[in-house]
């Protein structure tokens, strides 16, 4: 069984740097799963910066969608798997699901209420089921697994249905992954804070009414 670690935090909090330090510390070959897709020049610059800060000896797998299949292929590796990041993976799945609902030529585009209903009733449950399966697999396979994710729901309520679904989806997915992870860290201002097992113990006490 692997040691599954989840690292979360805000933008530019230092979570990727911390994840890379953890991966290097394990003294095993590192397999880096990049979920980003390059859609514009700004994203290309961001990806290049990430590439430059990683050791050139790390094996790179670029996979925006099929994380379960990728982990299955790597399940017997004597290695560290570092996936960065979960929220880009969620974005890719959300956009792929939304594209399936787009109006065909000659058809009227769906209304905002129809879009919102489809997102919450169909796409979100499918994605969360996928996240659940990936979390279970990350817990069970042989390599040490590190996932990097983001806290995206700490600002104002987004103004459009897609953004609101994405915010909720990210929060629910982080909870699913954290429950399966052996270690969970929050990184703020460059410093990691361990959330498990102390938070798990407190929550268990509250649920049992021991406090």
Return d(Cα 121, Cα 177) in angstroms, integer. Answer: 21
Residue 12, marked binder? yes
Residue 9, marked binder? yes
pLDDT of residue 103: 47
Catalytic residue at 50? yes
Residues 100-133 pLDDT 10s: 655 455 566 666 677 677 787 889 999 999 999 9
Which domains, and CATH codes, for the chain?
4-99+112-208 (3.40.50.300)
Residues 173-187 pLDDT 10s: 999 999 999 999 999
The SS3 assignment for 8 reads strand
Task: Name, in order, each residue with C-beta under 8 angstroms of 180's C-beta and a sequence gap of 6 or more.
Answer: 4, 135, 136, 138, 139
- Closest to 8 in 3D by CA, of 139, 175, 210: 175
Active-site residue (options: 50, 68, 118, 122)? 50
């Amino acid at each position: 069984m692997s040691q599954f670690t989840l690292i979360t935090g805000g933008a530019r909090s230092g979570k990727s740097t911390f994840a890379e330090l953890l991966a290097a510390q394990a003294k095993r070959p590192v397999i880096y799963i990049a979920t980003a897709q390059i859609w514009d020049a700004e994203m290309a610059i961001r990806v290049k910066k990430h590439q430059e800060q990683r050791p050139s000896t790390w094996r790179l797998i670029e996979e925006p969608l099929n994380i379960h299949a990728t982990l299955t292929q790597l399940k017997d590796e004597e290695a560290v798997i570092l996936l960065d990041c979960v929220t880009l993976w969620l974005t890719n799945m959300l956009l792929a699901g939304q594209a399936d609902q787009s109006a065909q030529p000659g058809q009227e585009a769906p209304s905002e209420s129809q879009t919102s209903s489809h997102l919450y009733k169909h796409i979100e449950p499918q994605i969360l089921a996928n996240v659940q399966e990936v979390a279970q697999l990350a817990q069970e396979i042989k390599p040490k697994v590190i996932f990097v994710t983001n806290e995206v729901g700490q600002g104002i309520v987004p103004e459009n249905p897609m953004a609101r679904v994405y915010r909720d989806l990210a929060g629910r997915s982080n909870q699913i992954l954290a429950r399966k992870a052996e270690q969970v860290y929050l990184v703020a201002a460059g410093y990691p804070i361990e959330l498990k097992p102390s938070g798990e113990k407190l929550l268990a006490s509250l649920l049992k009414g021991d406090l």
